[in-house]
Structure 1
Amino acid sequence: MNYNDTFIIAKDGFKCIAASAALMLFFMAIDADLFSFLSGVLLLVTIWTFRNPERTIPHFQQDSIVSVADGVIRSIETIEDAKGESSYKIVIKSGFLDASVLRVPFSCEVSEAELLYGARLNSLTPLSDSLNEQCRIVFGRGKKQVRVMHKLQISSVGIKNHLSEKSRAVQGARYGLMVNGKTTLILPVNSRVAVKVGAKVRAGETLIGFFS
């Protein structure tokens, strides 16, 4: 994986920041004080959303899995596939004020990477689950595999993914961006979950679990 955006602001957010700045300058030019103030607040929120902080990966034991996104753990449950095999399903909700940069959960080879363009409907809309833009990534293979699905909600920018199939990925490395969405991680049954519902997580830093 050659993607390595280390600038203080994520490059994938430059267009949104530029649009917010242009809007503020327009209102300032026509002396619309209220709208100038509101667009200034919007600009600050946009810059904050696209911040790209450096993250130091804590020294975890071997086979650790870290969070791929900033946000809050909404649910943790055990699921079964069509073959009757169990897995752990962890859902992370990321909002506008969470850092939008996505990071690799563990060092591995990417076995699948697919971006499906779609709508950006509110999660309360019945069709949002099937129509909204999403990105599916499978990190690793066999018993050491984490399946990730990023699903976009209301957002001004689409999901960015710089991973491709068979690319090598290093734990904690940046691989994309998502503003205001839901991330689902599927961990194999041989793993141990290390977070609880309601916990605040940070991409590349928070321990999600271990492969046993």
Structure 2
Amino acid sequence: MVITIEKSLLTLSVVAGVLGFTGVAASASTYTVKSGDTLAEIAATHHASIDNLVKQNNIADKNLIMVGQKLEIGKASKKTTTKKVNKQHFKTSTSIKKGSAHAAVVTSQSGSDDSTNDATSSATTTPEAFQSQGVIYQDGKKWTYYTGAAFADGTTNHGGYDADGYLIVAAPSDVPFGTHVQTPLGEGVVHDRGTAIVGNHYDLVMP
């Protein structure tokens, strides 16, 4: 009876060793997101499902991936925590005349984070990450950012927000002024136009 038990334990040890080796041998590939990529296209190319990619990479919004972002394909990645968005104010270095085509410029951080505005409560990224990335794709829209003092419908800039506390958005000409739209930095309202803003390209005033 003792001999039988020892043989069984030996067999289990061998099986466990084989399974452990198999687990070590498994590997995942890494894909770096390029401009114009969508999660659906990446999943199709790598014969993976969108849901698996979302789960494996802890993606909060499957419609939002960033250029340069690295995606693990083939095994689950470690769980990450979501960092709370800090509402940062930025000071602009240029002003733009009312009604003129706006221009994208780099802004500098003022260091103030005492904003009481609630527009960023639904943000999916931070101003710092957006500024570093330059371009973000979300909900089928291409988002870039710019600065300005006055906009096509007469709105003035209040630290990146309109008088009602919403982020200022430049949209294609077929989107009416006053339209509310979800941006990577939170809820915004369309107040501006631009010669380069066509199709699914939108611009956002950097707060």
User: Given the two structures, how large is their TM-score scaled by the length of structure 1?
Assistant: 0.22
Higher radius of gyration, 1 or 2: 2
Which protein has the bigger helix share?
2
Q: Which has the higher contact order (CA 8 A, sep 6+)?
A: 1
User: Given the two structures, how large is their TM-score scaled by the length of structure 2?
Assistant: 0.22
